[in-house]
Amino acid sequence: MPAPSSSDTKYLEVHGSKWRVVVNVPRQLKGKLGTKLKRALGTDSLSEANRIKWDIIAELKAVIEQAQNPAMTKDAALSLARVKAMEEARRLSRQRLLALTTDELQRIDDRIEDRAEEFAGAPIGVGDMGMPEYEPERDALAMQFIAIAKNAETPVDFHHDKYMSMSNVKSRTAADDKRAIKHLKSWCESKGLPPTLQSITKREAVRFCDDLHKLVGKDDPATLNKYVSRLSVFWTWLEGRHEVEFNVWRGRRFKKPMQTTDQKERPFKDREMKALLAGSTSQAMHDVMRIAALSGARLDAIVCLQVKHCRNNTFIFKPQKKEPGPRLCPIHPDLAEIISRRSDGKDEDDDIFPEWPGPKKATSLRERSFKTSNQFTEYRREVGVDDQREGKRRSLVNFHSFRRWFATKAEQADQPESIIAAVIGHKRNGITLGIYSAGPLLEQARRCVEAVKLPELPS
């Protein structure tokens, strides 16, 4: 069993009866700094030494880092000092919150004041009131250090790691969360504004939104709203924990320009469906297209199907978008041959579409269907199915057009709108076709699916 952290002696050694921090110096700097940097902690308690050592370790490592970059400019050195100071301030802030006694709190506050004096440096003069004056940038750093360390100010990302650990979102959404915070911090820096929760008022939120397109490099309202939405969700979480008084991002959205009917993405037309279904492409692509056309399912849900998800004449699609759980969809009779062929001789956990195994890197944020989508787009253009409009990044027809085509054909076959919504997983009120649905509702869904027919292809 590993030793508890309170008995860890990493970076520590006893000097006399007290503990001190010891950091090894890289070989190339030993002639300049010596073999080791040391700093006394003033305590004979190992648990106490472990609690306070990290601030000293960070400080000594900053000394080494600066020695490794002797040509560092004054601004760069101050920037590095600011980063290190903010890291230390956060650690001291957490220590204050965990302090159990008045004496312990006083020791931490004394440490904060001592470090603030070190950050401020020596006085550069005396003011009109006889008070010492300090270099403005270093004095501002010292003041910000005290404010954060004593919990008067809170960095915008101070609670973000905890928020993310409690947030049950997909990896791509988590990446958007982190980018949103990064954009906010960059903006604060560009405006000379402290990147703290207290600094982000309603007024500053408006200013940030005005400048967001410059930070992102795009004017697309959907992209900009994505980041504002993630900040809003984070602030709502902070509001619920009484870390902020209100959500300054609430109601802040970029309006999408009004689109005319001929500018909206649309279903495939029947002649386009015939071109796609009769074209020369791989068997896997033909199978994916037919499943999409006769189920209305999204591409990634189809590509991720396993044998166990295609039993009892019913698909079980993984949840997409804001769906709370897996979703049932009856298998159209015209898909029976495809499912039988792709399931034959396979185990329950085998993939229906092994042709697209997904990204090799475990850290990739791309969906498994990423390559499938690219291959479909290339094929779609080859067979002349495209609808590109000026000013539109995407064609008005894409793989999602199969989903729109299914909904259109089901509606034209007089199927109830609520059942169509349940089948394809659209938001609906009062009707849920989940993995436990049975009886009349599933039978209604099956009638809805079977009412959709592929266009007849020339023989």
Are 138 and 59 in a shared domain? yes
The two tokens of residue 90 are 């956060």
Are 365 and 277 in a shared domain? yes
Pairing of strands 132-133, 18-24: unpaired
Coil, strand, or helix at residue 108?
A: helix
Q: Which residues pair with 36 in a beta bridge?
A: 24
Least-confidence region, from 49-58, 314-323, 352-361: 49-58
Instruction: Say if residue 74's pLDDT is above 60.
Output: no
**For 391-442, how does the pLDDT look when each residue is reduced to its tens digit (9 = 90+)?**
777 899 999 999 999 999 999 999 998 889 888 886 554 445 554 455 457 8
pLDDT at 4: 47
CA 220 and chain centroid, separation: 19
Residue 106 burial by Cβ neighbours in a 10 Å radius (0-12, 13-18, 19+): exposed
Q: Output the furthest CA–CA distance in the chain (Å, rounded).
A: 99
Note whether 152 and 181 are within 8 A (CB).
Answer: no
Are 218 and 365 in a shared domain? no
Distance in angstroms (rounded) separating the CA atoms of residues 382 and 120: 67
**For 234-264, how does the pLDDT look when each residue is reduced to its tens digit (9 = 90+)?**
999 999 988 899 999 999 998 876 655 556 8
Q: How many residues does the chain have?
A: 459
Are 113 and 185 in a shared domain? no
What is the count of structural domains for the chain?
Answer: 3
Would you say residue 457 lies in a domain? no
Are 16 and 134 in a shared domain? yes
pTM of the entire structure? Answer: 0.57
Instruction: Say if residue 3's pLDDT is above 50.
Output: no
Residue bearing the bigger pLDDT, 164 or 168: 164
Are 323 and 389 in a shared domain? yes
Least-confidence region, from 71-75, 93-97, 335-339: 71-75
Pairing of strands 18-24, 36-40: antiparallel
Note whether 306 and 349 are within 8 A (CB).
Answer: yes
Are 224 and 341 in a shared domain? no
Could you give the C-alpha distances from 189 to 59, 196, 199, 226, in angstroms and in order?
23, 11, 12, 22
Domain extent at residue 223: 160-240
Are 345 and 437 in a shared domain? yes
pLDDT at 123: 82
Are 133 and 106 in a shared domain? yes
Q: What are phi and psi of 49, to 5 degrees?
A: -60, -40
Are 225 and 143 in a shared domain? no
Nearest CA to 155 out of 196, 187, 191, 123 is that of 196
Would you say residue 455 lies in a domain? no
Distance in angstroms (rounded) separating the CA atoms of residues 207 and 156: 16
Q: Which of 149, 183, 217 is the last residue of a domain?
A: 149
Pairing of strands 18-24, 12-15: antiparallel
Are 145 and 184 in a shared domain? no
Would you say residue 251 lies in a domain? no
Would you say residue 185 lies in a domain? yes
Q: How confident is the model at residue 1 (pLDDT cuts 50, 70, 90)?
A: very low
Mean pLDDT, residues 84-104 = 83
The two tokens of residue 351 are 């993939």
Least-confidence region, from 157-166, 225-234, 310-319: 157-166
**For 168-178, how does the pLDDT look when each residue is reduced to its tens digit (9 = 90+)?**
888 888 899 99
Distance in angstroms (rounded) separating the CA atoms of residues 229 and 173: 11
Are 10 and 46 in a shared domain? yes
The two tokens of residue 251 are 């109601």
Residue bearing the bigger pLDDT, 142 or 261: 142
Q: How confident is the model at residue 78 (pLDDT cuts 50, 70, 90)?
A: low
